Amino acid sequence: MDPCSHHWFICNVRHGYLVEEACFECGGRLSFFSAEPVPPIEKYREGRHFWAYLGSFQTVKFDLKCSACGRLVNLNDVNGLMLSECTDSDCQVGVLVLQQAPDSLVYVAVCPNTTHSTGTCVSSEGIEALNQYFKAKLAPVGRKVTVVPCKLCNSFDKCRGTSIADVGLTDIQ
């Protein structure tokens, strides 16, 4: 058990673009963060995949650091947060949403490869730190949120929700 009760604060704020791509061959989707002034839009082949640009939007990434013990949790594997509106009783996230009190909301932490073809998703350490951070921030104002990794969605690409993103402001036409 961790001896520190952790007082997380946001650090290493990075501004950039979240670029979404889709594979013509398998229908898979991935996203990556780009700090370039103009996000890359070129098509490219990678093994059996042929990735093509779908879109991009401005976003902010950050890490969490504990002011008590100095522990840094790198959130590079979190490409964004989505407020879940799933009501699918066959989906773990949907079940969680249906169980919430009216003032409590579920957010999905979105990893770079939402098809999870590589078997990876947002780290459990990152999910735990995000939950602790938001719990501490929101408790004084009487709000609750739960953050879950996108691997819990039946199919993230078909999942209902509101992504926290700046869509449309600086899209490349």
Partner 1 sequence: MKVSELVQKTGLKAINEYKDREIESVYISDMVSDLIASAKTNAVVVTLQTHKSLIAAANLAAAAMIVIVNGRKPSEDVVALANRTGIGLFSFDLDAWAFAKKLVNLGVE
115, 128, 131, 138: residue in contact with partner 1 (rule CB under 8 A):
138
Question: What is the smallest separation between the CB atom of 55 and partner 1, expressed in angstroms?
Answer: 15
Give, as ranges, the residues between 152 and 171 that touch partner 1 (CB under 8 A).
Answer: 162-167, 169
Grouping H, G, I as helix, E, B as strand and the rest as coil, residue 134 is helix
Beta pairing, strands 8-23 & 104-110: unpaired
Question: What is the smallest separation between the CB atom of 119 and partner 1, expressed in angstroms?
Answer: 28
DSSP 2-46: -S----EEEEEEEEEEEEEEEETTT--EEEEEE-SSS-----EEE
Give, as ranges, the residues between 29 and 88 that touch partner 1 (CB under 8 A).
Answer: 58-60, 62, 80-83
User: Which helix (H) or strand (E) element contains residue 163?
Assistant: strand 161-163
| Token pair recorded at residue 29 | 């989707």
Task: Tell me phi and psi for residue 88, to 5 degrees.
Answer: -80, 115
Question: What is the smallest separation between the CB atom of 24 and partner 1, expressed in angstroms?
Answer: 29
3, 90, 140, 173: residue in contact with partner 1 (rule CB under 8 A):
140
- CA torsion, ordered 84, 89, 92, 94, to nearest 10 deg: 10
Question: What is the smallest separation between the CB atom of 39 and partner 1, expressed in angstroms?
Answer: 14
Question: What is the smallest separation between the CB atom of 88 and partner 1, expressed in angstroms?
Answer: 19
Q: Which is nearer to partner 1, 12 or 117 (CB)?
A: 12
Sites of contact with partner 1 (CB under 8 A) = 10, 13, 15, 58-60, 62, 80-83, 102-103, 105, 107, 134, 137-138, 140-143, 145, 162-167, 169
